[in-house]
C-alpha cells in the first residue's frame, strides 16, 4: 500500500526551525489536517502566529478551527506556479516581470495598486489567473505587515519543501517498508539528523 508522509514545520520566536509532527495517510485533505493540528494542540502548542500553506481547499478553515487567532498566508511560490502555467509561453517573461511588482512591492498599498495595473494589462487575456490573485488576495498579502526578515520565513513553503528533499534521501533507497512503524523509525532518524544541522 502506498502512503504519503506529511510534516509540520514550525519556526520559533528565535528563528529556529523544528519539525512539530509527521503523519502518514492515503490522501491529503482538510479533515486530515484538522486532525494533525488538533494533535499539535494536544502536544502542547498553544498558539501559532502565522501559517504558510498551499492552496488545498479547506486548509485555511481547518487552521482557523484549531487555532482561531492564527493568520493564514498562502504560499506565494505556489500561487506563482499555478499562475504561470496558464500563461502562454510567449508572454511568460513579460507577465512575470509585471507580477514581481506585486509580490515584491515594498508595501501592501503599492502591491494592491500594482495588482490593479497587472489586471488592466493582462486581465483580458488571462481572466482566471487574475481572478485567482484577487480571490485569494487577503491570504496572499499577510506577509506585508511583517519585517523583511520575517517575510522571508513566512511567504513561501520552500523551507518545508527543502526538508522533504532531505528526507527523501533517506527513504528513496528503501523500496518497500515492512510496516508503517518501520517508515516512522527511519523518518524519525532522518529528522533527528536534519534538525541537528539546523542547530
40 to 47, 48, 125: CA distances (angstroms): 10, 10, 44
Please give the pLDDT value at position 123.
96
Pairing of strands 71-74, 50-53: parallel
| Cα–Cα nearest to 7, from 27, 36, 34 | 36
Q: Report the number of secondary-structure helices (H) and strands (E) in the chain.
A: 10, 4
| Cα–Cα nearest to 126, from 75, 79, 84 | 84
Are the C-beta atoms of 77 and 55 separated by less than 8 Å?
A: no
Mean of the per-residue pLDDT values for the chain? 90
What does the pLDDT look like over 165-185, one tens digit per residue? 999 888 887 777 888 888 889
Q: Indicate the DSSP class of residue 26.
A: S
What does the pLDDT look like over 68-115, one tens digit per residue? 999 999 999 999 999 999 999 999 999 999 999 999 999 999 999 999
Amino acid at each position: 500500500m502506498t502512503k504519503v508522509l506529511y510534516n509540520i514545520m514550525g519556526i520559533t520566536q528565535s528563528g529556529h526551525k523544528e519539525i512539530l509532527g509527521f503523519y502518514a495517510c492515503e490522501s491529503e485533505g482538510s479533515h486530515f489536517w484538522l486532525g494533525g493540528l488538533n494533535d499539535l494542540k494536544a502536544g502542547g502548542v498553544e498558539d501559532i502566529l502565522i501559517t504558510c500553506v498551499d492552496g488545498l481547499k479547506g486548509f485555511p478553515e481547518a487552521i482557523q478551527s484549531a487555532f482561531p487567532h492564527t493568520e493564514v498566508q498562502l504560499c506565494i511560490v505556489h500561487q506563482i506556479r499555478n499562475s504561470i502555467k496558464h500563461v502562454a509561453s510567449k508572454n511568460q517573461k513579460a507577465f512575470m516581470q509585471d507580477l514581481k511588482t506585486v509580490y515584491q512591492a515594498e508595501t501592501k498599498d503599492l502591491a494592491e495598486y500594482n495588482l490593479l495595473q497587472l489586471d488592466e494589462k493582462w486581465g483580458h487575456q488571462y481572466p482566471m489567473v487574475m481572478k485567482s490573485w484577487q480571490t485569494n488576495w487577503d491570504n496572499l498579502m499577510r506577509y506585508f505587515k511583517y519585517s523583511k526578515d520575517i517575510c522571508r520565513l513566512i511567504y513561501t513553503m520552500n523551507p518545508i519543501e527543502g526538508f522533504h528533499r532531505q528526507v527523501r534521501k533517506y527513504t528513496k533507497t528503501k523500496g518497500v517498508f515492512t510496516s508503517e512503524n518501520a517508515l516512522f523509525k527511519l523518518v524519525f532518524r532522518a529528522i533527528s539528523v536534519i534538525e541537528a544541522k539546523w542547530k
